[in-house]
Structure 1
Amino acid sequence: MTRVESGTPYGWGRLHAAFQVLEVLAVGRTGLGTPAGLRRTTNTPRNHFVELLRGAGLLLLVTREKGGDHARAVEAVFGDIVRLTGPQRMYDKSLDERQIAEFRRGHADQVAEYRKAWESLVP
């Protein structure tokens, strides 16, 4: 992994990307980093991440059952989710413009890492 800044919007963007890639690996969803998806998270990061965590276990199970490259990729992605979920409390208010830009940068950096590692699995 490159830079991980726990507890900052950059780190939250990376965390959001990990959750999105987890969903891509499980169900083939595309559209990583769409403005609407990112906006929802930057409006109330804590609330949205709580929702994402609730569904993560099922996505992990579905992806592991696929086996092969999917299982290896999800092992790394789920580990990233654990590492990127910091011990400090996340914002439960909207991010400002500077924080949104950091969030987007973190998201883009993490998606780029996943695409490089698993180009056939992460569109």
Structure 2
Amino acid sequence: MTTRDSSSGLDSSSISMDDQPSLKRTVSLDPQPGGELWADNFNRSFRQVQAVLDRNRALIQQVNDNHQSRLPANMVKNVALIQEINGNISKVVSLYSDLSSDFSTVFHSNKDDDKSRQ
């Protein structure tokens, strides 16, 4: 059964997201060639993104703690922590870019398959 979430406009059969801090995501696609593989990649990519975001959350907390301590050694540590945060943001951008590319490929492939069946 497919339900439509009026706040997001998404069918619950296609994407379901928790509002919990862990941001669990599950995907259920119609049985089409490549759909299951893409869904597995989609879920794996979101788990990777979530792991990086969780790491950044911990790093940001450490940066805040170091800043509040006002100790010179902790301020020096913040430089490396902030550099890691920036690198992690680049990883997230890359993962989302890969997801977008994969989605586009599957979408266009399925669209082309539908046209060839007509």
TM-score range for the pair, normalised by the shorter chain length: 0.3 to 0.5
What TM-score do you get using the length of structure 2 for normalisation? 0.32
Q: Which one has a larger percent strand, Structure 1 or Structure 2?
A: 2
What TM-score do you get using the length of structure 1 for normalisation? 0.31
Larger Rg: 2
